[in-house]
Structure 1
Amino acid sequence: MYKHRTLKEIKWGIIGVGDVCEVKSAPAMNLIKHSSIAAVMRRNKAKAEDYARRHHVPYYTNDVDELLNHPEVNAVYIATPPGSHADLAMKVAEAGLPCYVEKPMARNFDECITMIEAFEKAELPLWVAYYRRTLPNFVKIKELVETGHIGDIRSVSIEMFKALDNDLIANSEVNWRVDPKIAGGGYFHDLASHQLDFLDFLFGPVKAANGYSSNQAGVYPADDIVTASYAFENGVIGNGIWCFNAAKNAEKEVTTIVGSKGKITYQSFGSSDVKIDIDSGPTQTLKFEYPKHIQQYLIQTVVDELRGVGTCPSTAESAARTNMVMDWILK
């Protein structure tokens, strides 16, 4: 039993109020009933103050310990790049606070295990921001698979081709997403983690995976192309390719789930449409809308679990499995 399972009101302290906190995540914490932001932290105190002013947060600081010891803060959101997740999570656990951390959970599986062990020892919950587990189009895909709409599932394939970003090339030295020391890898870690985590949600754990990676264009330190094959414990077989150095006219992002009676195709980024093709009928396209604050539905489940009225589907254990699969793929 977690020590903080029955909080009445969730008062968030946020570590690292950067870009992800502008629209995607943090504003939802002030919209959800029984939830509000009590304090924010950023190393640059002027930027922390600016964020607090614009988002009507009553307290700001540039000191992590100061935030963790704030008398109003009873839950923490770590919104920094992955390289600091493990160390910051240890501090949060030591402070006796439940934690919601950005994805990927850490740079590698070993760091994930360290985080899990710290929160288990402290008897505290730890969740990870894999919000696709709560978005309506992805929930619908899970329903279609589980009800056998396309029959028995045979395979799943991820294809992602993106052109080199000229702005990224010009600023590669300051872009943490392509610095393996901070991100754990390149755009594969940043983007494929979302896709692979959803497949874990859909099919359960992967039992084996392998792959190849390379830095073909040489414009930043991380790999820019990855291929993979993986097998789930339930018998589904998968493969994927992630290429971030392709021609502009080759750009593509699609996941295809093939069953014995049909297939489902969808995008993990971009369109929220879900396309269904079955042998016995016409193609069907289901339309969905995302919330303004894309993490709101997942954050709602975190608030619900802390209040003892629900559970969050994105746990530290499931998120760690995604890091493990990425480690296997990149060896």
Structure 2
Amino acid sequence: MSDDLRLGVIGVGGMGRGHVGAIQATEGVTLAAVADTNREALDAVTDGTGVPAFADYNEMIDQVELDGLVAIVPHHLHRGVVEKACEAGLPLLKEKPLARNMTEAVQFVEMAEQAGIPFMLATQRRFIPSYARLKEIADNLGEIFLARGQYVFRWSRDFAWRGQWETAGGGALHDMGYHTVDMLIWYLGLPDWVSTEWSSRAFDQWDYSTDDTAITVFGYSSGTIGYLLTTWATSPSEEAFFLHGKQGVAVADRSGIRHTDLADNVVEEIPTSGEGGGGLHAQMAHFAHCIRTGEQPLTAARTNLENMAFIEAAYRSAAEEARVSPKDYLPEAGA
């Protein structure tokens, strides 16, 4: 392994450009090669850099000496990337979600563990200071009785593969909502029950069947309840997570955190500053650290099985019109 970690990126359009920027901003890491089927996307990140570019990521991995992979591809293409990373013995940072369904998720985790490679999910909200601070101060709020998360924005183009269950595995809840689910589980653990309603009625101009809007109510045996609202069908854009306790309230978004007492007096108000890339830079530094040290990532693939259990149970609850326990969908539950 060279002094600088040599990373290859699979998929450099959209979010892929953000990951490329994170590599370029991270000390001790080098962008060694990129792969994408879109020539324009390749040119946009490689022109004038001398970075090798490939239309086929298999050729990139076979021909370039690499220390790790970063993959941002459509959900139905994740399997090939995971299989190739395992075959090559390369640590993998892969965009969320972990998989299209729990069966596929377990297969991915087991493949990586058998290959002995670090396998990390890009759930970068955990690396944004405001969201991390919310976890740190949660105990100061007293017993949490209500939690709520929301992620709202309006999609501006055809959903394409994201609009079909076979290729995407789910819609807004499974895709962008994955971040909100991840924060809930990070803060409070996996709920004991969920109940979801979803719709796919917001866009008449496109043909799609996955959810564009979903509301999931959840609860714990302790009595704590809450909801997650996810939609990529409307405005204004908003992303935030709230924890309501018997001694205070805290809300975090990408711009900062606000902690108040029950009379709405400010206890702490901190704007987010100094972290570039919306958590992507710190996430990339953590990935590099895990490659060098062999430590398990904060967002290791195995821990994401709880995220997948939540989402699987949420969709099942909508189909059955009943509360469903996410814990029944964990591998150890025999699901």
Q: TM-score, normalised by structure 1?
A: 0.84
Alpha-carbon contact 2:118-2:294 (below 8 Å) kept: no
Alpha-carbon contact 2:256-2:272 (below 8 Å) kept: yes
2:90 is equivalent to residue 97 of structure 1: yes
Match of 1:155 in 2: 146
Q: How far does residue 232 in structure 1 lie from its aligned partner after superposition?
A: 5.0
Q: How far does residue 306 in structure 1 lie from its aligned partner after superposition?
A: 1.0
Aligned with 1:239: secondary structure? Answer: strand
Which residue among 46, 52, 57 is the counterpart of 2:46? 52
Alpha-carbon contact 1:102-1:128 (below 8 Å) kept: yes
Name the CA distance, whole Å, in 2 between partners of 1:32 and 1:310: 18
Name the CA distance, whole Å, in 2 between partners of 1:57 and 1:20: 21
Match of 2:107 in 1: 114
Match of 2:13 in 1: 18
Match of 2:30 in 1: 36
User: 304-313 vs 30-39, which deviates more?
Assistant: 304-313
Name the CA distance, whole Å, in 1 between partners of 2:239 and 2:81: 33
Q: 1:327 to 1:7 in 2, by over 3 A?
A: farther
Q: How far does residue 99 in structure 1 lie from its aligned partner after superposition?
A: 0.6
Which residue among 220, 235, 250 is the counterpart of 1:264? 250
Which residue among 288, 292, 306 is the counterpart of 2:272? 288
Alpha-carbon contact 1:13-1:75 (below 8 Å) kept: yes
Q: TM-score, normalised by structure 2?
A: 0.83
Match of 2:262 in 1: 279
Aligned with 1:83: secondary structure? Answer: helix
Which residue among 283, 287, 305 is the counterpart of 1:320? 305
Q: 1:141 to 1:7 in 2, by over 3 A?
A: farther
Match of 1:82 in 2: 75
Name the CA distance, whole Å, in 2 between partners of 1:62 and 1:233: 51
Alpha-carbon contact 2:180-2:228 (below 8 Å) kept: no
Name the CA distance, whole Å, in 2 between partners of 1:254 and 1:58: 37
Which AA in structure 2 matches 1:31? A
Aligned residues: 311
Which residue among 129, 132, 142 is the counterpart of 1:139? 132
Alpha-carbon contact 1:18-1:80 (below 8 Å) kept: no
- Gaps (5+ residues) in structure 2? 317-335
Q: How far does residue 14 in structure 1 lie from its aligned partner after superposition?
A: 1.0
Q: How far does residue 319 in structure 1 lie from its aligned partner after superposition?
A: 2.1
Alpha-carbon contact 2:178-2:307 (below 8 Å) kept: yes
Name the CA distance, whole Å, in 2 between partners of 1:109 and 1:245: 26
Aligned with 1:67: secondary structure? Answer: helix
Q: 1:230 to 1:173 in 2, by over 3 A?
A: closer
Q: 1:241 to 1:135 in 2, by over 3 A?
A: closer
Alpha-carbon contact 1:302-1:311 (below 8 Å) kept: no
Q: Deviations over 1:196-224 (max 9, x none)?
A: 11122222333432312222335341212
Q: Deviations over 1:264-316 (max 9, x none)?
A: 1233xxx4221212137712432112633230101111111111186531110
Q: How far does residue 189 in structure 1 lie from its aligned partner after superposition?
A: 2.0
Q: 1:285 to 1:109 in 2, by over 3 A?
A: same
